Amino acid sequence: MEESVSGFKVRGSWGDVVEHGERITRALRDAGVEGDAFEEWDEWRPKSHERLSKDVSEKTAVQASVDEGEGEKAGKSPDEDLQTAGERLSESYERVEEGDSGGAVDRWSESLGYVARAADSAGRRALRRVENTVYQRVMTQLAPYYFDNELVSANIQKSARGDDDVSFIFEVNVNDDDLKEEVSDRLAEYDDEVTRWHVDTPKETEIAEAVEGVEPPESDDRSRSTTN
């Protein structure tokens, strides 16, 4: 593993990539990190049974997609918001007829808000569909597979060298400097204490082939570490 200001980098086989992700995840967990950002990272990090061009690509596209807008977070479709906008507009007319100009303006403003929210939701959904297609079909051919949130930034790319033992480059950065230093210390401890780190699929199998299209070997082993 190489360590620099830009993060923790490993060059090697798919098994090395998986192990690197497991070690960093273990270090974060041992440092007391939890919550949504940690779960997002734990979900995205490469697993031994996955393929880069399929599984990691799909997870990257999902992670990189446009966030939900207010309407989507509220569980409302654009049609529902447009219907509510029409109801508020009708109420605004009623208030005008009743001489309640203040209430009419309030309802009219609410109506515009629902219209804007409906347009926002529809636009986000359309953009997501385009994003997903463009990312998986085009961007992954040009750029590394990446992950980014407030906790971790990471990227994987296939090595240009093409050596048998160096097929991938995987770099992970912990965005908080103090936490990054603690993770670094824990990774050093693992190097001293852990004699062998078992990933889901043994390293000696042809994992690179499994990653890129051949069915990976079955294994009942779970990720674990053994200490002296």
pLDDT of res. 163: 57
Q: What angle do CA 37, 171, 183 make, to 5 degrees?
A: 60
Residues 70 and 80 sit within 8 Å (Cβ to Cβ): no
pLDDT of res. 98: 82
Distance (Å, whole) CA 10 – CA 21:
10
Q: Which residues does 119 contact at the CB level (< 8 Å), separation at least 6? A: 78
Cβ-in-10-Å burial (0-12, 13-18, 19+) of 170 comes to buried
Q: Which residues does 217 contact at the CB level (< 8 Å), separation at least 6? A: 201, 205, 210
* pTM, to two decimals: 0.57
Residues 151 and 175 sit within 8 Å (Cβ to Cβ): yes
Residue at token pair 């109801």: 87
Distance (Å, whole) CA 17 – CA 142:
20
Nearest Cα neighbor of 58 from 154, 147, 127 is 147
pLDDT of res. 56: 86
Q: What angle do CA 4, 9, 13 make, to 5 degrees?
A: 160
Mean pLDDT by 10 residues, the chain (228 residues): 82 92 94 93 92 83 63 77 83 82 80 78 65 56 74 86 71 93 90 56 45 47 40
pLDDT of res. 173: 93
pLDDT of res. 225: 41
pLDDT of res. 224: 43
φ/ψ of 67, rounded to 5, equals: -65, 160
pLDDT of res. 223: 42
pLDDT of res. 165: 59
Residue 90, both tokens: 């009708």
Residue 24, both tokens: 């960093």
